[in-house]
Chain A
Amino acid sequence: MVSADLLKGYDFFKGFSEEQVKKLADIATEESYKAGFQLWKKGDPAKSLYLLEGGKVVLSMDTYMGTSRPPMQVTVDIVTKGGAMGWSAVIEPYVYTLGARCIDDSKAIAFDGAKLRELLNKDIKLGYAFMHATARVIATRLTHTEIILVGERGLSVLSQD
């Protein structure tokens, strides 16, 4: 478990009550990783949702430039201090949709997916608040991805001229 005070500073918990934050703090753990550590790969079971306390994590996908070449990792988003990642831990089918790798030494607060889902189903007001916050995280990631995608298309059009 971690202290409730540690969680209160995160945007993710904006609007949560003291009691709700305390319940989440009880199932949270702190973890540290070295730069280069692969937190998960695309397709892995989504075991935890994380809030980054420090460091940097890149979210990337494999792209294939041809069947004979190895896949290339393309960065889709970068999570920095205060950011949330691993939303797949609370959204069916509970499988990560991108890979996540630390590019700096990093520290995170981890919420075990199974414990989290159990808590959110048991305390429905907390469940609602948490899923609302998760929807915000996914929407933000969508906006970032679409900005990158439109930029990529622009570049590809320019390179064809």
Chain B
Amino acid sequence: MFIQEVELFQGIPSHVIGEISELATQESYPVGYVLFREGDVADFLYTLEEGEINLIIQAQKDFSFPVIKAGSVFGWSSLVEPNRYTATAECVKDSKVLKIDAERLMRVFQRHPAESLIIMKRLAGVIATRLLKSYKEFAASRK
């Protein structure tokens, strides 16, 4: 997968994409592998390339958000204080991900404010989407 296909980075100019690409490594994990646990210090932003990851809230496997679409980002807590993961990420299938060093990514943001504004708007949208899913779960749990 190319960085410009990641939902946060679509349409971002190639010179900025180039800098972000340098921070990314491709990793493969087997089914059952835990990438990070809720409460861990959040150092990396992840993007799904292949496979499926489950984001499990407060160790309750029935309360989870699946990441199935290639290009979806997770581990956004690495870019938002207090920089602690808010879920546990576990591979449901053998999976390939792009792993991006968040601290260095923030430094790229400082150098390119116009592109960073677009990316940060999208990131806030990604978090808002999960919040809206939680609201739906909440409403359903009261029925």
Chain A: residues with CB nearer than 8 A to chain B? 61, 63-65, 72, 74, 76, 87, 90-92, 97-98, 120-121, 124-125, 127-128, 131-132, 134-136, 138-139, 141-143, 145-150, 152-153, 156
Chain B: residues with CB nearer than 8 A to chain A? 57-58, 60, 62-63, 76-77, 79-81, 86, 109, 113-114, 116-117, 120-121, 123-125, 127-128, 130-132, 134-135, 137-139, 141-143
Query: Max chain A CB contacts within 10 Å: which of B62, B77, B79, B116?
Result: B116
Secondary structure of the B contact surface, majority rule: helix
Partner of B139 from the list A61, A90, A91, A120 (CB cut-off 8 Å) is A61
27 A-B pairs (CB sep. < 8 Å)? A61-B139, A63-B143, A65-B142, A74-B138, A76-B138, A92-B125, A97-B132, A97-B135, A121-B117, A124-B113, A124-B114, A125-B113, A127-B117, A132-B80, A135-B120, A135-B124, A138-B131, A139-B76, A141-B131, A142-B130, A145-B135, A145-B138, A149-B63, A149-B138, A150-B57, A152-B141, A153-B63
CA–CA, A74 and B132, complex, Å: 15
Is the pair A142, B143 in contact by a Cβ cutoff of 8 Å?
no
Is the pair B77, A146 in contact by a Cβ cutoff of 8 Å?
no
* Chain A proximity of B57: nearest CB distance (Å): 5
Secondary structure of the A contact surface, majority rule: helix
Which residues of chain A are within 8 angstroms of B142 by Cβ–Cβ distance?
63, 65, 72, 74, 152
